Structure formats: structure tokens, C-alpha cells
Structure 1
Amino acid sequence: MFRKLLVAAGVAGLALAATPASATTTATTVTCGPSALQSGLSTKVCAEVTGDQVQLYGQVSLPGPGPQSKELIVNLSGGIVGGASLGSVQGYRNFNSATIQVRGVGGTVPCGSTVHASFSVASYPWANTPVTLDLPIAC
């Protein structure tokens, strides 16, 4: 009985090994808008696209050498142009010279749509000046 079970398991394993792996893996592409200074820091907004899935993020980094610490008010938002919102994230983040990313906005986007993303950073005494990205989703 045990021998029959081993033979059956071996045949099942060969059948699985002979089946080719799915060739439908979709690459992720990252597209970023232009960088701009906000509150004395370099900022940009980016989109990671995998098929019809889009994840947006904002990034804050030092524009040059030298340590800098600031408490930031951040706002990341995105939506489909002429359509639904992909959400928004607002809050406080501490910046201590290391690059930070603000994430949490995204979702499924119909092929052929355009995604609009906006990222702003404010820190006293500077007001925000959002960086934006408009990205067509080709799928």
C-alpha cells in the first residue's frame, strides 16, 4: 500500500514538474514626476505600475549635503482623471536627513486611463507647493 502511495506521489510530482510555470508575470515600472523644493527639501511623487495596479508614493530627501531635522506635514493624493479617487494620506512625519517615502494610495485603474498624483510637504514657516504626476496607464 505504501509503495503504491509513493508511486502515485511521484507521478503527481512529475506531472507538476512537466507543467510550465505561468508566463503571465507582469513587470513593475516606476515613473516619477519632476523633483521640486518644498520646505527646503527635495520632493517628488512617483507611481509604481504593475498591469492595471497602481501604487503612488511621495518621497522626501535632502537637496544637498548637511544634516537637517524637521517635522513635516505631508499630503499624498491620487485619482483617475475624470473618475474615481485612489485615496489620500495626510499626517505628520519626522525627517532626520534620511530619505523617507509616504505610501498608502493606489488601486486598480482601467487601461487607457490617466492617473493624477499630488504630493505636498509643509514645515513652518514654509507653505506647501505640491509636486504632481499625470501618468497614462497603458496596461
Structure 2
Amino acid sequence: MNRLTLLAAGVAGAATLLAVPAEAGAVTATTTTTTVTCGASGLQSGLSTKVCAEVTGDGVQFYGQIGLAGPPSPGSPQPQPRELLTGLSGEVVGGASLGSVNGRTVFTASTVQVRGVGGTVPCGSTVHASFSVAGYPWNPAPVTVDVVVAC
């Protein structure tokens, strides 16, 4: 056999080995959209805070967000890092807890998110989340969000 014949035989053999049956190659595409709902912003520790719920199907994930309360004054120095005490909790209204996260977060000037609370809930349930931030000399003033998980 010449080289061209050997090459053609090798390509045909590889194509046979790599062939996938039509039903095995069919991919079912299901798209589930994620909806984000945030509660009203609040002022805590001199910063703007809010809590949001990301709902995808029957799954919900909560996050708290910390940002500057307003733009810095022109010519003002870069804000110093601040250590904040944060608390994020979530629950199914009238039902189970979806968890809570308490910790320390360092904030400078960029928006920071605190995550780690959520789970799967029954369709039609209302979920509730609360997010609090404390930093000397300010006490926490929690922000909340309530969302119906429609599925």
C-alpha cells in the first residue's frame, strides 16, 4: 500500500471510532433564568448596604452587599480599610432556616459581597433574608428582603 492509501485507511478508522450514535449525541437544552431581587438600601456603619436574593428555579441564594454611601468628595484622601462585623441569614417564612453567616469583612472603597446562605425551597414559598453590618462606633441596622419563589 502506498502512503496515501494508509492515510485514508487511518482517517476512516478514526472516524469510525469517534462516531457517536445520533441519540447519544442529542443534548437537551433546558434554560433556567436567574432572577435577582434586592431589598431597599440602608445606611449601616456609614456605608450603603442591601440584601439580595438570586432565584433559579426552586433554588435561592442570598447575598449582602456593602458599598460607599456616596461618591467621595473631590480631593479627599483614599478611604482607609475598615474591619466590619457582618451577619447574613435566610429562612423560608413559616418554615426552615436556610442558614446564616457571621464574620469579619474588610471594606476599603470597592463594593463587597457577603455570600453563603441559601438552598432549595418548595415552589410558592416566601423566603426572607436579613443582612447587618457593624463597625465602631455604629450599631447594626439590618436590611431585609422578602421574595416569593414561583418556580
TM-score (norm 1): 0.89
Which residue of the other structure, out of 131, 136, 139, is the alignment partner of 1:124? 136
1:9-20 correspondence runs (5 A): 9-10=18-19, 12=20, 14-17=22-25, 19=26
Runs of 4+ in 1 over 4 A off after TM superposition: 2-5, 13-17
Q: 1:76 maps to what in 2?
A: 88
1:1-139 correspondence runs (5 A): 6-7=15-16, 9-10=18-19, 12=20, 14-17=22-25, 19=26, 21-66=27-72, 67-68=78-79, 69-139=81-151
How many residues were matched structurally?
Answer: 136
Q: What letter matches 1:23 in structure 2?
A: A
Q: CA RMSD in A?
A: 2.0
Q: What letter matches 2:63 in structure 1?
A: Y
Structure 1 gaps of 5+ residues are: none
Q: CA deviation at 1:122?
A: 0.5
When residues 6 and 96 of structure 1 are mapped into structure 2, their CA distance, relative to the original with a 3 A threshold, is same
Distance in 2 (CA, whole Å) between partners of 1:4 and 1:23 is 31
TM-score (norm 2): 0.82
Give SS of 1:37's match.
strand
Larger radius of gyration: 2
Task: Specify which structure has the higher proportion of strand.
Answer: 1
Q: What letter matches 1:121 in structure 2?
A: V
Percent identity of the aligned residues?
61
Q: CA deviation at 1:9?
A: 3.3
